[in-house]
Amino acid sequence: MSTSLLYHAFGIRGYRYTRTDYRDGQTIFTIHQEPETCRCPACGSHEVQSRGRVERRFRTLPIGRRATFVVLPIPRVECQACGVVRQVKIPFADPRRSYTNAFERYALELGRRMTIRDVALHMGVSWDVIKDLQKRDLWRRFAKPKLKHLRHIAIDEIAIAKGHRYLTVVLDLDSGAVVFVGDGKGAKALQPFWKRLRGSKAVIEAVAMDMSPAYREAVSTHLPKAQIVFDRFHVMKLFNEKLSDLRRALHREATDVMQKKVLKGTRWLLLKASENLDEEKDEKKKLEEALALNKSLAVAYYLKEDLRQFWEQPGKRFGTSFLDGWIKRAEASGIKMLQQMAKTLAAHRSGLLAYYDARITSGPMEGTNNKIKTMKRLAYGFRDREFFKLKILAIHETKYELVG
Ligand SMILES: [Zn+2]
């Protein structure tokens, strides 16, 4: 083994190579640091006296499938200037870890293409070792995103587990990046975000969110000048949930077998945008048949399709008369679900119309949510919550593939 190979293959330089051992399928290089190269790790002084050595073993890059280690008796020195005995610095590894920097870099590189499990298996270490080094790397790069440039943001809660466990996510609507992930939902989850935002001196112009009061009050308090937009994505999501409830209730009440069957088959068709109905699968015909059988479902469905037009108006004035017209029609429909929706929209009227000033929607949040769902399926989320949160912050970093 030449010192040049030690340097080029393992990033180790400035040591004397002592020997190589082959034991139990492992390759072990022993290296040595000469006393004259030792310096005080605190002040850098060469005026030091040797105070023994502490042997350490670091896992480094495998050679093929063979686990490879570097053994170094690390000198301990007493500094004349500091008067303290310390272990000298080692440039090729963090003394708190059991592996070299080269090992860490290689594991991170593989982690961009392989699951944690696969990397751990390939490199002969535990799942936790690989997860922890990924976590530190994510922390360095994503834990504190710059907020200074933020102008338009979206705030949303995401369920991360059954039984009401939530995270609150803040998205930069201009870049699409996740800029904050908080524990829980509601105003409390946002506290650390406000603190960091104040420090950044960012000027937030508009915030997209759903119509629940949870974030609304928090934003009014902390960003009194920002415009609140109850966005299209959430309004339509709420409407679709109510539409599904209506269909379910009608299905429950239906006594006719045929009618029950038709109602069951329209579950997804009702929620689809009408222009996306698949002609080849006869979706349009199927839906029309179902609607012909259920007047209230038909009214609700057409008012849903109609409501989507609210965001397609040429400007705020048209938007206003459209919204007021829609609310009137829903109120007059005699259908409880639509009347409730009309009441909700009327109560949030200015925040809905704010769309025509700010032109934002948390639609991009949907894509982020879907990616988070994929990560949840990969199951590492719950073993380490902080790691999961960092993965969400890195979600738009294409270098970090969504591998487990
Ligand atoms: Zn010193």
What average pLDDT does the segment 149-178 reach? 89
Kindly tell me if the per-residue pLDDT of 329 is higher than 70: yes
Tell me the CA–centroid distance for residue 85 and ligand 1, in Å.
9
Burial 122-143 (b: 16+ CB within 10 A, else e): ebebebebbbebbbbbbeeebe
Residue that has been written with the tokens 């048209």 in this structure: 318
pLDDT per residue as tens digits for the range 94-119: 999 999 999 999 999 999 888 899 99
Tell me the CA–centroid distance for residue 208 and ligand 1, in Å.
55
Tell me the CA–centroid distance for residue 78 and ligand 1, in Å.
8
Pick the range with the lowest mean pLDDT from 33-37, 282-286, 354-358.
282-286
Residue 381's pLDDT band (cuts 50, 70, 90): low
Tell me the CA–centroid distance for residue 285 and ligand 1, in Å.
84
Instruction: Count other C-beta atoms under 10 Å from residue 161's C-beta.
Output: 11
Tell me the CA–centroid distance for residue 45 and ligand 1, in Å.
6
Tell me the CA–centroid distance for residue 37 and ligand 1, in Å.
14
pTM for this prediction: 0.82
Tell me the CA–centroid distance for residue 43 and ligand 1, in Å.
4
Tell me the CA–centroid distance for residue 46 and ligand 1, in Å.
8
Quote the tokens at residue 301: 């469905």
Q: Give the model's pLDDT for residue 384.
A: 83
Q: Give the model's pLDDT for residue 265.
A: 81
Tell me the CA–centroid distance for residue 71 and ligand 1, in Å.
25
3-class DSSP state of 1: coil
Tell me the CA–centroid distance for residue 101 and ligand 1, in Å.
25
Return the higher-pLDDT residue of 340 and 290. 340
Tell me the CA–centroid distance for residue 14 and ligand 1, in Å.
20
Tell me the CA–centroid distance for residue 84 and ligand 1, in Å.
7
Residue 159's pLDDT band (cuts 50, 70, 90): confident
Report in angstroms the alpha-carbon separations of 336 from 38, 210, 246, 340: 82, 22, 9, 6
Q: Give the model's pLDDT for residue 219.
A: 95
Pick the range with the lowest mean pLDDT from 3-7, 134-138, 256-260, 339-343.
3-7
pLDDT per residue as tens digits for the range 182-239: 999 889 999 999 999 999 999 999 999 999 888 999 999 999 999 999 999 999 999 9
Pick the range with the lowest mean pLDDT from 274-283, 330-339, 347-356.
274-283
Q: Give the model's pLDDT for residue 378.
A: 66
Report in angstroms the alpha-carbon separations of 108 from 9, 63, 112, 126: 17, 17, 7, 14
**CB contact set of 373 (below 8 Å; sequence gap of 6+):** none
Tell me the CA–centroid distance for residue 87 and ligand 1, in Å.
11
Tell me the CA–centroid distance for residue 44 and ligand 1, in Å.
6
Cα distance between residue 181 and residue 159, in whole Å: 12
Q: Give the model's pLDDT for residue 385.
A: 85
Q: What does the H/E/C string look like for 297-348?
A: HHHHHHHHHHHHHHHHCCCHHHHHHHHHHHHHHHHHCCCHHHHHHHHHHHHC
Q: Is there a contact between 273 and 308 (Cβ–Cβ < 8 Å)?
A: yes
Q: Give the model's pLDDT for residue 396.
A: 80
Q: What is the mean pLDDT of the chain?
A: 91
Tell me the CA–centroid distance for residue 47 and ligand 1, in Å.
8
Tell me the CA–centroid distance for residue 355 and ligand 1, in Å.
63
Q: For the chain, what is the largest distance between any 2 Cα atoms, rounded to a whole number of angstroms?
A: 96
Cα distance between residue 174 and residue 80, in whole Å: 56
Q: Give the model's pLDDT for residue 345.
A: 97
Cα distance between residue 319 and residue 345, in whole Å: 13
Kindly tell me if the per-residue pLDDT of 377 is higher than 60: yes
Tell me the CA–centroid distance for residue 73 and ligand 1, in Å.
20
Tell me the CA–centroid distance for residue 385 and ligand 1, in Å.
40
Pick the range with the lowest mean pLDDT from 103-112, 155-164, 221-230, 353-362.
155-164
Kindly tell me if the per-residue pLDDT of 363 is higher than 80: yes
Tell me the CA–centroid distance for residue 178 and ligand 1, in Å.
44
Tell me the CA–centroid distance for residue 80 and ligand 1, in Å.
7
